[in-house]
Structure 1
Amino acid sequence: MRTFPTATGLRTYLDGLPNDQTVAYVPTMGALHAGHMALITAARDSHDVVVASIFVNPTQFNEASDLDTYPRTPEADADLLQLHGCDALYLPAVEDVYPSDYEDRTSRLDFGPLVAVMEGANRPGHFAGVAQVVYRLLDIVRPTTLVLGQKDYQQVAVIRSMIEQLGVKVDVTVVPTVRERDGLALSSRNRRLNDAERLAAGTINLHLKAVAAGLTAGWDPKELEKTAFREMAHHELLAPEYVSIFDGDTLQPWAADAPVRELVVATAVRCGPVRLIDNFIVRTSF
């Protein structure tokens, strides 16, 4: 695996590839785990070249403390990427991603109701930062396929919208969430949990599964949201911010029995010092 600290170096490498080779790109913020490696494996299985990036993007953090404490393990990350077949790693400084003359094309985009709910409502400006960095990284890498994880369901929807609005020529592949044995979605933030918090965090997915079971049984979605929120709030180490049942395409609240391509329940929960998100696809095409 080759590591490039600059966009210029990475582009020189990519421009030297045969024209018929396909390139898959996996953007990350580092502190890599098995969930990230599932993205690398999916990319490796269907493309000639796999590119990953590690960049903790300052423009998408709402809390300075979250940015400051975000785990950074670049050497271990590089070893893991190489072990799983990554061909090229882009490991830039902020100044390389955002040079002084950089013009942000995403600032004029309108994501409408996609960012009016859930993470968008709770983290103002977050998705503007996500769109900004993903567009910039796509402009550098110019991949055949962008590989993303299902855990960031709303983020995927925003990125798809950004790609469509700006006419970016790239396919998007979404890989299912990888979980611990107790169902906790793998996240770089999990390593900041102490033992008691980690045990509490493992119950979050159980509440989502309970909501899914209730929906399958025909229970009222609003009551299921309230119940899951209340039950998590009863735990002394959990502080839920929202539980939402929504149409996977529009991200808007689901009215019982309304036809949707994908029905999803999602949550954001603070557990000790860490904010965790998760989602569960209840069912598809009904």
Structure 2
Amino acid sequence: MRTYKTAKALQKALPKDKTIAYVPTMGALHAGHMALVEAAAQSHDVVVASIFVNPTQFNDETDLDTYPRTPKSDAALLKKHGCKYLYLPGVNDIYPNGTEHSAAEGIDFGPLTATMEGANRPGHFDGVAQVVSRLLEIVQPTTLVLGQKDYQQVAVIRAMVQRLDIPVSILVVPTVRAKDGLALSSRNKRLNKKERVAAGTINVQLAAVAAGLRAGWPVDVLEQLALSGLGQNDLLDPEYVQIFDGDTLLPYLDGDNVRELVVATAVQCGPVRLIDNRIVNQSNS
């Protein structure tokens, strides 16, 4: 695996006649990231990954400062799982004209950013669109590979790609979970033992909501039951549980005909904010 710290060097090295799959990450890599790399390698000639902790998508300075950084072990994992090129830039290489400039500036994402993460983390998706548009400009991949865990982020990036007419396909890989069902996340490393056990409740509640939806239970009842169930654990502080249309991200109304029905949550567990979601297969979808 070859490592490059500048966009210029990476662009010079990348082949022009190969299919390129690109996996953007913020590091502290785990099996979930490796699932993205492996999925990319199965159907493309070349896999490129990047590690960049993007400051413009953090609305909490403490979260940015404490975000785990493990570049040496990350590089070893990527090499082991088939990554051929690693882009490891600094802030000045990503934003040579400063962080105020964004190719995605002015895009109105409408309801895609009005709820859930968009409502709870003001400016977060502006930063996501900013950095992903820049990274795609640098790498120019055939396919962008993303994880389902960040469901709302995927929807925003899809919309950005369409609005900016970026010639790239998007491949979404299912969430990888621990044995107790907790979605793998770089932030999980900051949980102590008691918090880690408590975090397993998140998947239990999402699974219960999914089962309730399949059985025809009302949306508002299921959301409240899940919030209550999460809140019963003293180590968990749920921000939201929302059931929504996977295409529009608008709240789901009982009986709506939707292609994909999703339940998502954000929960504060000790010092860490965790997000997760479940896609629900509906007979009317």
TM-score range, shorter chain: over 0.9
Secondary structure of 2:281's partner? strand
- Residue in structure 1 matched with residue 221 of structure 2 by the alignment: 223
1:115-126 correspondence runs (5 A): 115-126=113-124
The alignment partner of 1:113 has SS state of helix
Q: Percent identity?
A: 67
1:202 & 1:33 partners in 2: Cα distance?
A: 17
1:5 matched to 2:2: no
Q: State the secondary structure of the residue aligned to 1:108.
A: coil
**Is contact 2:112–2:249 with CA below 8 Å preserved after alignment?**
yes
In the TM superposition, residue 280 of structure 1 has moved relative to its aligned partner by 0.3
The answer to whether 1:257 aligns with 2:255 is: yes
Residue 39 of structure 1 corresponds to: 36
State the Cα deviation string for residues 213-267 of structure 1 (Å, max 9, x = none).
1111111001100110011111100000000000000001001111101000000
> Hey, what's the Cα distance between the residues in 1 that align with 2:268 and 2:102?
32
**1:74 aligned partner:** 71
Given candidates 180, 184, 191, the residue that maps to 1:186 is 184
Q: Which residue of 2 aligns with 1:83?
A: 80
Q: How well do the aligned residues superpose, as a CA RMSD in angstroms? A: 1.0
Structure 2 residue 169 is the aligned partner of structure 1 residue 195: no
Where does the alignment leave 5 or more consecutive residues of structure 2 unmatched?
Answer: none
Please give the alpha-carbon distance, in whole angstroms, between the structure 1 residues aligned to 2:273 and 2:238. Answer: 9
CA distance in 1, matches of 2:273, 2:26: 16
Q: Which residue of 1 aligns with 2:274?
A: 276
Q: Deviations over 1:192-217 (max 9, x none)?
A: 00000000001100000000111111
The one-letter code matched in structure 2 to 1:172 is I
Q: Give the Å deviation of 1:18.
A: 4.5
What is the letter of the counterpart of residue 5 of structure 1?
Answer: K
Structure 1 letter corresponding to 2:95: Y
Q: Give the match for residue 213 of structure 1.
A: 211
Q: Structure 2 CA distance, aligned partners of 1:104 and 1:254?
A: 32
User: Cα distance, 1:100 vs. partner?
Assistant: 2.4
Quick one: distance in 1 between partners of 2:150 and 2:216? 27
How far apart, in 1, do the equivalents of 2:120 and 2:217 lie? 27
Decide which moves more: 39-48 or 103-112.
Answer: 103-112
Taking the aligned partners of 1:70 and 1:245, their CA distance within structure 2 comes to: 29
Q: Give the ranges of 4+ consecutive aligned residues of structure 1 lying more than 3 Å apart after TM superposition.
A: none
Q: 1:68 to 1:260 in 2, by over 3 A?
A: same
Shift of 1:3: 0.1
Instruction: Give TM-score scaled by structure 2 length.
Output: 0.98
Call closer, same or farther: CA 1:253–1:93 in 2, change over 3 Å: same
Task: Name the aligned partner's letter for residue 7 of structure 1.
Answer: A
Contact 2:24 2:49 in 1 (8 A): yes
**Cα deviation digits, residues 134-169 of structure 1 (max 9, x gap):** 000000000000000000000000000000000000
Match of 1:166 among 164, 167, 191: 164
- Aligned to 1:61, which of 22, 46, 58? 58
Q: How does 1:225-240 map to 2 (within 5 A)?
A: 225-240=223-238
2:84 pairs with 1:94: no
Residues 92 and 98, structure 2, Cα contact 8 Å, conserved in 1: no
Query: Where do 5+ consecutive residues of structure 1 fail to align?
Result: none
Task: After TM superposition, give the deviation of residue 101 of structure 1 in Å.
Answer: 6.3
